Homo-oligomer: A and B are copies of this chain.
Amino acid sequence: MPNTKASDFIHKLHQSQIKLTRQRKLIVEKMVLFKIPFGAEDLYLNGLKKSGLDLATIYRTLNLFAENNWISRIDLNDGYSRYVMKPASSHLHTLLCKACHRIEHLSGCFVEKQQEELRKKGFTSLSHKVEFVGLCPDCNQQERTAL
C-alpha cells in the first residue's frame, strides 16, 4: 500500500471545492515524504523543479493548504516558513529536535484544564499550541561521542 498518506490527503482535497491539478498532487506526494518540517524551497529542489513546477505555485499551494488547516506552520525562527502535515487531532503538540529537526506529534493534552479556566474568564475562540524543543536521543548521543 504505497502512499496511503498521500492518497488520504488527496481525498481531503477532493471533498473540498478546490481543483485537483497535476501540480497539487505532486506537491502532496512530495510533502508526505518529509519526516522533518519542510519549506517551499525544500519541495522545489527535491524533485518538484524537475517536474516543471514553479516556486510560486508551491508557495501558493502551501498557503492554500495552511489556510484550510491541512498542514501546520512551524516556526524555526530562521526566516524560512516550514510546514508539517497535520496530525489527526486538531491542535498541535510537538516535540522537535533542534539538531536534526525530527518532529514528533505528542499524544495526550495536559492543558485542556488550563484552557477551560481561560474560557471561564471570558476568552473565546481559544486554541493552543504546545512545543517542546530539545535534542533527541540520537543527536544527544552524537554530541557525546563527538567529544
Cβ–Cβ contact B122 & A126, under 8 A:
no
Cβ–Cβ contact B124 & A133, under 8 A:
no
**Hey, which chain B residues are within 8 Å of A129, CB to CB?**
129-131, 133
Instruction: From B95, B115, B122, B130, give the contact of A140 (CB < 8 A).
Output: B122
Q: Which partner residue on chain B sits nearest A136 by CB separation? A: B123
**Hey, which chain B residues are within 8 Å of A111, CB to CB?**
110-111, 130, 132
Question: How many Å lie between the Cα of A137 and that of B130 in the bound state?
Answer: 23
Q: So how many copies of this chain end up in the complex?
A: 2
27 A-B pairs whose Cβ atoms sit less than 8 Å apart in the complex: A73-B77, A95-B123, A106-B114, A110-B110, A110-B113, A110-B114, A111-B111, A111-B132, A115-B132, A118-B134, A122-B137, A123-B132, A123-B136, A123-B137, A123-B140, A124-B134, A124-B140, A125-B134, A125-B135, A125-B140, A126-B133, A127-B133, A127-B134, A128-B132, A129-B130, A130-B131, A131-B131
With A111-B130, A126-B133 given, can you name 12 additional A-B contacts, CB distance below 8 Å?
A: A95-B118, A110-B113, A111-B111, A114-B132, A122-B136, A122-B137, A123-B132, A123-B135, A123-B136, A127-B133, A128-B132, A129-B133
